[in-house]
Structure 1
Amino acid sequence: MSSLTNARITTRSKLQSIIETKAWNYAIIAVILFNSLLLGLNTSSQIKANFGGLLNALDMLCLVIFTIELVLRIFCYRLAFFTNSDKWWNIFDFLIVAISFVAIEYSVLRTLRTLRILRLISSVPAMRVVVDAVLKTIPAMLSISALLSIFYYVYGVLCVEFFAEKFPEWFGTLPRALYTLFQIMTLESWSMGIVRPVMEVYPYAWIVFVSYIVLVGMIALNLIVGVIVNSLNEITQSKNANNDL
């Protein structure tokens, strides 16, 4: 009995040493990219009509590879697969594969196959760092988003009060004003398309719009970028410190 147990441990150890190599990780990334290409080709009606069967077969092959890789990881790490430091990424991979099988069973959900592309995030360490940084900034992002929403709402009400009478298509109601302000925030045709026509009727309207862009489009949004960059630096420094140890 002990010899059988030792054989299983040895097999598990060998498999673990294989799936933790860079070559294995690169191979999985290559399969993900190949699967992404297949999903893109499937959007072409002409290619789908000529090679639909082949594309579906290759797509199924990719799913089989993902499933085998997931089973091997669970076999190697056992319960630790769902409890170690990478547990959330492991659970993410598990859900992606599970959803892919559900999509096969129900044709209406076949578009969910595209979720497999998201496995690229968990397979590329650099992407994982970025996602970890974004998740870490959620508390700060909520505060900045609340501040952004206050400015957004205040300027929406002001625009309705000031410009609704002459420009009802842009500022006739609060929802319309908020949507127009969102367009201005993205800087898409904000000057020639919206602000200059308004200024022809209301010469001092530039004060409202320029102050809005400075507060919302520059300061608040740059705060979000700054928080994410700071989080990235902290995570990178933490990883470097752990590697030095």
Structure 2
Amino acid sequence: MRERVRYIIESKRFQQAIIAVILINSAALGVETSADAMAHYGDLLHLIDRVSLAVFVVELAARLYVQRGRFLRDPWNVFDSIVVAVSLMPAAGGLTVLRSLRVLRALRLVSAVPSLRRVVSALLTAVPGVASIAALLGLVLYVAAVMGTRMYGHVAPDYFGNLQTSLFTLFQIMTGDGWSDITRQVMTVYPSAWIFFVCFVLICTFVVVNLFIAVVVSAMDEEEVEVSERILAELAELREEVRSLREPAGAP
């Protein structure tokens, strides 16, 4: 019986059906934000929500039945369990906010689609490298903020009046939001201020951000290599098994 359930839940059609339920449920949760849609189709949307939740609970129960003790060893099973558990909590009284957390079910698409799982796994693998780059970026922001406060605080106090304001302003410039307006205001007094801002933008946007992208891409490549090596190892084991089965029982 357990093997039959395993075959069903691991089949491609079953996975496609779960993905379809996730997409339908996510769309229904989005439509629920419309007052007009709720007035006309509220009962149908609630029905879709309950049916989808029931499907997710049955799927998790089937996985728990098949995997037993191994169920909690898989981080994706834990993730799915938390998402479904939040949806099962009563949305009344002080827990009304949990009703809006039902949209977290859309995140189950990450665990249901293998390619998305690989991307998330690669991002988690890249966390140490990303943390180093974030520290470098924070250091650059701090140094530039101190320089900007000392040099331009009296010229543009709204942007560089103190260290906290300068940090926020430079973060805004790093994202490319209105940096030219800030630069021109400072350049009315210090025409050469463009050197400071251009250097800051080049360092942050084109160096640090590209380093971040490089670390993530490198982690994704490593993830692909690990998957390929795992597949090759499994193929090698299968070949050994086939070779052993082909050999005569009495062969040396």
Q: By the TM > 0.5 criterion, same fold?
A: yes
Bigger radius of gyration, 1 or 2? 2
CA displacement at 1:137 relative to structure 2: 1.1
Residue pair 2:122, 2:219 contacting (<8 A) in 1 also: yes
**Long gaps (5+) in structure 2:** 234-252
Amino acid at match of 1:99: V
CA displacement at 1:79 relative to structure 2: 0.8
Residue pair 1:159, 1:171 contacting (<8 A) in 2 also: yes
Aligned position for 2:9: 19
Quick one: which of 181, 196, 199 aligns to 2:170? 181
Aligned position for 2:128: 139
Aligned position for 1:195: 183
Deviation sequence 1:49-96 (CA, Å, 0-9, x none):
22222211211110000000000110111111112xxx1011000111
Aligned position for 1:215: 203
Aligned position for 2:142: 153
Amino acid at match of 2:86: I
Residue pair 2:86, 2:98 contacting (<8 A) in 1 also: no
Aligned position for 1:241: 229
CA displacement at 1:237 relative to structure 2: 1.3
Q: Distance in 1 between matches of 2:209 and 2:45?
A: 42
Aligned position for 1:45: 35
Aligned position for 2:240: none
Alignment length (residue pairs): 231
Residue pair 2:148, 2:166 contacting (<8 A) in 1 also: yes
**RMSD of aligned Cα (Å):** 1.2
Q: Percent identity?
A: 41
Q: Distance in 1 between matches of 2:19 and 2:177?
A: 36
Deviation sequence 1:118-140 (CA, Å, 0-9, x none):
10000111111111111111111
Aligned position for 1:91: 78
Deviation sequence 1:105-163 (CA, Å, 0-9, x none):
53332011011011000011111111111111111111111111000011111111111
Aligned position for 1:36: 26
Deviation sequence 1:6-42 (CA, Å, 0-9, x none):
xxxxx11001011111111111000000011001101
After TM superposition, the structure 1 = structure 2 runs for residues 67-78 of structure 1, keeping only pairs within 5 Å, are 67-78=57-68
Aligned position for 2:69: 79
Residue pair 1:103, 1:112 contacting (<8 A) in 2 also: no
Residue pair 2:126, 2:216 contacting (<8 A) in 1 also: yes
Q: Distance in 1 between matches of 2:19 and 2:90?
A: 22
Q: Distance in 2 between matches of 1:141 and 1:25?
A: 33
Quick one: which of 111, 128, 153 aligns to 2:100? 111
CA displacement at 1:103 relative to structure 2: 4.9
CA displacement at 1:244 relative to structure 2: 2.1
Q: Distance in 2 between matches of 1:165 and 1:197?
A: 12
Aligned position for 1:8: none
Q: Could you list the runs of 4 or more consecutive aligned residues of structure 1 that deviate by over 6 angstroms after TM superposition?
A: none
TM-score if structure 2 supplies the norm length?
0.89
After TM superposition, the structure 1 = structure 2 runs for residues 1-12 of structure 1, keeping only pairs within 5 Å, are 11-12=1-2
TM-score if structure 1 supplies the norm length?
0.91
Amino acid at match of 1:239: V
Q: Distance in 1 between matches of 2:172 and 2:39?
A: 40
Quick one: which of 153, 158, 166 aligns to 1:169? 158
